[in-house]
Structure 1
Amino acid sequence: MASLGLLMIRLVIGLTFVGHGAQKLFGWFGGPGLSGFGEWLGTIGIKNGGKTWALLAGLFELIGGLLFAAGLLTWVGAILITIVMIDAIATVHGKNGYWLTNGGFEYNLVLIAVVIGVALIGPGDFVLLYKP
């Protein structure tokens, strides 16, 4: 049952990050795409290299989410997701305090705890490739 629980956590969080990455990279699912996200980064003070930072954020979310969901190099996926969440806290949510109701970093911190927790526990038995 633990492996099934880990699979559920990995799929929901991992595929959600895949979707967020696709929003940033390709404009899918109502997202802004690279140009739009890069421009938005400029509005929060990241004036130089907005499109480059948009590309990195999108790739970290997409690749991190895929690895995490698949249970393949789960710790790498968790690190990529954690980097994006720490960046979101530092650039957007941190100044708003803890609670999400005020635009704070509560949810970002929960995601960090979950992905690091799963990485420390391991992905469970249901992974994309055979696990000896």
Structure 2
Amino acid sequence: MSSPTSLTEQLDAARPRVTSLFRIVVGLLFACHGASSLFGSFGGVDGAGGTVDTGTWPGWYAAVIQLVGGILVMTGLFTRSAAFISSGSMAYAYFTEHQTEKLWPLENGGEASAMFCWAFLMIVFTGPGPWALDRLLGERRVAEPHRQPTRV
């Protein structure tokens, strides 16, 4: 008769799935920020459906990174690259838009930028988890090795 597993062992066993859930939620929320800025979804940038002007620096480019990066991270496609770029964009946003006013995120309105920056950096190092297109495509590549041309 085996002894019941400890709470730590149960939590460790769930880690891969929770990593995927974390990535999905963070990616979805980030994509929503981009959709809000680009299309006025969810109240837009001003709460009244406003959008950023196309091509303006840095707002429009940040919104594109948010939408595309968020979708890629959420689906688990090119996860680490998309998370790295997304993390960098949020670090840039924090240091150029928020930290110039005051040091602490609670004082300068940069909590979202700081949290997204660190969440994406964590995804860079932990990977996408098992529920990701990266994993599905990687398994296909392994399952279907490249065929060598047959010589006659």
TM-score bin (small chain): 0.7 to 0.9
Larger radius of gyration: 2
CA distance in structure 2 between the partners assigned to 1:61 and 1:89 by the alignment: 14
CA distance in structure 2 between the partners assigned to 1:27 and 1:99 by the alignment: 25
1:1-132 matches, cutoff 5 A: 1-31=14-44, 32-35=50-53, 51-95=56-100, 96-100=102-106, 102-103=107-108, 105-128=110-133, 130=136, 131-132=138-139
In structure 1, runs of 5+ residues without a counterpart are: 39-48
Q: Percent of pairs identical after alignment? A: 30
Asked if structure 1 preserves the Cα contact closer than 8 Å seen for 2:105 and 2:114, the reply is no
Once the two structures are TM-superposed, the CA of residue 90 in structure 1 deviates from its matched residue by 2.1
TM-score, length of structure 2 as denominator length: 0.67
Equivalent residue letter for 1:5: V
Q: Secondary structure at the match of 1:62?
A: helix
Structure 1: 4+ residue segments shifted above 6 A: none
Give CA-to-partner distance per residue, 1:68-127, whole Å, 9 cap, x none.
111111112212211321222122221311242x12545533322221122212111101
Over the residues paired in the alignment, what is the CA RMSD in angstroms?
A: 2.1
Number of aligned residue pairs: give it.
118
Richer in helix (by share) = 1
CA distance in structure 1 between the partners assigned to 2:35 and 2:115 by the alignment: 22
Structure-2 change in CA distance of 1:106 and 1:22 (3 Å): closer
TM-score, length of structure 1 as denominator length: 0.76
Asked if structure 1 preserves the Cα contact closer than 8 Å seen for 2:72 and 2:79, the reply is yes
